[in-house]
Structure 1
Amino acid sequence: MKQPHTHASHPAIIKRLRRASGHLTSTIEMVVQGRECLDIAQQLQAVEKAIQQAKKALIQDHIDHCLEDLVGPAVKGHRHSLDEFREISRYL
């Protein structure tokens, strides 16, 4: 059986995803109740943002831990490339 793959950041990511789940549940209920479109759109924005932040945290953590573990300690000239890759991934 495969070992669980966890990182210190996972509790924070879970918290963000639960927040997104709560926002989504609220959004569904708002649509069912016939609430104003502007209110629903704002709630959908909250769902989208929470998921986006969770994704960003997961990707950054992967770069910080998994990728470096795979490649090993970066030599002086390559560290900049890894840092640059990490920085550009923020725009995903």
Structure 2
Amino acid sequence: MTTAPSAGTPVAAPRGYADHKPDHLARLHRIEGQVRGLTRMVDDDRYCVDVLTQITAATHALQEVALGLLDDHIRHCVQEAVRADQDTGETKYAELTIALRRTLRL
């Protein structure tokens, strides 16, 4: 957190995805609707393969959001840290590697 110059109150620093936040939120809201639809499908005893197909679609949609966030992180947070100084850059590279491992489940 940073401090607002005049007020002295903490303000959250802008995130790397700030420029794409509306897009990410819109996708997440659609995914939320897909998951609610999955709940209805199971509740309505829909055919297994149909439910699995929708689960695959929701999973893919979440992966696309993750890739978008990773791209934003690289283009903003990592790039900015590398420009700032080598130690900060190295820390962000290590953080990026951890994020990729989590995302790719390695």
Shorter-chain TM band: 0.7 to 0.9
For normalisation by structure 2, the TM-score amounts to 0.65
1:59 corresponds in structure 2 to 70
CA contact (8 A) 1:20 1:46 kept: no
TM-score (norm 1): 0.74
Structure 2 residue aligned with 1:3, among 12, 36, 39?
A: 12
Question: How far 1:5 moved relative to its partner?
Answer: 3.0
Structure 2 match to 1:38:
49
**Which residue number corresponds to residue 90 of structure 2?**
none
Alpha-carbon offset, residue 22 of structure 1: 0.7
Q: Is the 8 A contact 1:23 1:47 kept in 2?
A: yes
Structure 1: state its 5+ residue gaps. 74-81
Q: Which of the pair has the greater relative contact order for Cα pairs under 8 Å at 6+ separation?
A: 1
Q: Tell me which stretches of 4 or more aligned residues in structure 1 moved more than 3 Å.
A: none
Structure with a larger share of its residues in helix: 1
What runs of 5+ residues in structure 2 fail to find an aligned partner? 1-9, 85-92
Please provide the CA RMSD for this pair.
2.2
